[in-house]
Amino acid sequence: MPAPAEVSLINDTQIQVVRDFEAPRSVVYMAFVTPALVRRWLLGPPGWTMPLCDIDLRVGGKYHYRWESREKDQAFGLWGTFDAIEPERRLLSRESFEDTEPTGEARVDTLFTDRGAATRVTYIITAESREARDAALATGMTDGMEMSFKQLDTVLAEGA
């Protein structure tokens, strides 16, 4: 199994999250942009599902995710817009949560790079302010990301 994600603060508004996956870049990229696959891994803690996963993969296209936990009687969503797409290399988007903190818009630059037979995914998340960055971290966001990444490891191992 790959090592857990490495999280670092780049500056007052940016978070960097780096994680390696044991699959070719083309396969990992498809797992990030194919709704049927995204629904299988982008789930965070146990008990959460993703009943809505819409991805319009084009510059200016939107994505909308919605998660729910029946156990906790909670739900929240995320909207985003693609600003740049370089297939198998980079996704640049602006996104914001609905129904939950943090508020405001974040810029997310997702990079896919070869690491031999593996793929490194690097997120650079730019918040509107230091307070927004810190609020995002306080939600446990990066812990939830790692839980999702472990699910992605399983999806990739199954031959996604």
Give me the tens of pLDDT residue by residue for the chain, a chain 160 residues long. Answer: 789 999 999 999 999 999 999 999 999 999 999 999 999 999 988 999 999 999 999 999 999 999 999 888 999 999 999 999 999 999 999 999 897 777 789 999 999 999 999 999 999 999 999 999 999 999 889 999 999 999 999 999 998 6
Delimit the domains of the chain by residue range. Answer: 6-152
Q: Give the list of residues 6+ apart from residue 57 with CB closer than 8 angstroms, or none.
A: 33, 82, 85
Nearest of 22, 17, 8, 5 to residue 115 by alpha carbon: 22
- Provide the sign of the torsion angle of the four alpha carbons 65, 46, 100, 142, taken in this order: negative
Q: Which pLDDT value is given to residue 160?
A: 64
Q: Which pLDDT value is given to residue 59?
A: 98
pTM equals: 0.94
The burial of 75, by beta-carbon neighbours within 10 Å (0-12 exposed, 13-18 middle, 19 or more buried), is given as middle
Cis peptide before 102 (omega within 30 of 0): yes
Q: Say if CB 25 and CB 113 are below 8 A apart.
A: yes
Q: Which pLDDT value is given to residue 134?
A: 94
Q: Which pLDDT value is given to residue 90?
A: 98
DSSP state of 42: T
Residues paired with 74 in a beta bridge? 69
Residues paired with 15 in a beta bridge? 9, 125
Given 3.90.1300.10, 3.30.530.20, 3.60.15.10, 3.90.870.10, which CATH number is that of 6-152? 3.30.530.20
